[in-house]
Structure 1
Amino acid sequence: MHLRFLLALTPLMLTSQTYAAVNCDNATDQATMNQCASQQHAAADKELNALYQQITDRLKGDPDRKKLMLSAQRSWIAFRDAECKFSASGVEGGSVYPLIYRNCVTELTQARVETFKTYLKCQEGDLGCPVPSAP
């Protein structure tokens, strides 16, 4: 019975912790730096997802290419996660691991964001671009 109560409160505890004001510019302790890295990753991931949605919207008329995009994105996520696990493996188990891992994930996500932005700027007639220009 007590376990159910604790499980019911867990989302509330996580929510209040997630929205606590954190000064990332002056972070001095590991927990705060880890939290800031997580927030930066969340922001990059949100931008990536919005751009991905724009791309898949443009590909609605081409289900084969849309399927290729989905496959590419899934493969890219698997690569990103594996690369960052490897990159952070030297500090695995340490308190700095979340910071090193999240910084890597954020950096690779930001690079993917730039790729997506390039896809969305394709000009009509650009044969090297897989995403049609906006109508």
Structure 2
Amino acid sequence: MRLTVAPAFFVLLFGATAPALADDPIDCAEQNTTVEMNFCADEDFKASDAKLNAAYKKVLAQIAGGDLEKPYDRESWDKALRESQRAWVAFRDADCKGLVPVEWSGGTGTTSAVLGCMTAKTDARTKEFAERYNLD
């Protein structure tokens, strides 16, 4: 009888507190758990990715405004940039999502390390676009 009561007690106890914990906002200035670190690393990556996408759109707009002769015309330049960006994303993902987890041996910090790698590379690419194309 005790065995059936004890598990029910813990389910009620932890089940009743879980929603309250889930509603607590995560303070990325004070990360204490792996879940918090992963959440904050994901938020950082999302912000970084949004900046890269904005920069990429600005570069595409600059290209659309130019008019040179082949092979440096708008169409060729646009195609080259798109191919370069696809290759860059493939490299970033292979390095960060493929190599980093192996380096971490699947430990608890793996997700944060992967997201940190992706954020760093994405920030660098955004900076590269800003410098190459004189973005504001």
TM-score computed with the length of structure 1 as normaliser = 0.71
Counterparts of 2:134 and 2:62, CA distance in 1: 12
Q: State the Cα RMSD in Å.
A: 2.2
Larger Rg over CA atoms: 2
Identity of aligned residues (%): 29
Q: Match of 1:13?
A: none
Q: Partner residue of 2:54?
A: 50
Count of aligned pairs: 106
Q: 2: distance between equivalents of 1:117 and 1:79? A: 20
Shift of 1:90: 2.4
Q: Structure 2 length normalisation: TM-score?
A: 0.71
Matched ranges for 1:66-81 at <5 A? 66-81=78-93
Gaps of 5+ in 2: 1-21, 67-73
- The superposition leaves residues 1-41 of structure 1 with CA deviations (integer Å, 9 ceiling, x where unpaired) of xxxxxxxxxxxxxxxx8x97321111010000001000000
Counterpart residue number, 1:8: none
Question: For 2:112, which of 86, 99, 103 is the aligned residue?
Answer: 99
SS of the residue 2:55 aligns to:
helix
CA contact (8 A) 2:31 2:37 kept: yes
Runs of 4+ in 1 over 2 A off after TM superposition: 90-95
Structure 2 Cα separation of the partners of residues 68 and 90 of structure 1: 33
List per-residue Cα deviations over 1:46-68 (Å, max 9, x = no partner). 00000000001111250110000
Unmatched segments (≥5 aa) in structure 1: 1-16, 123-135
Q: What corresponds to 1:40 in structure 2?
A: 44
CA distance in 1, matches of 2:24, 2:126: 27
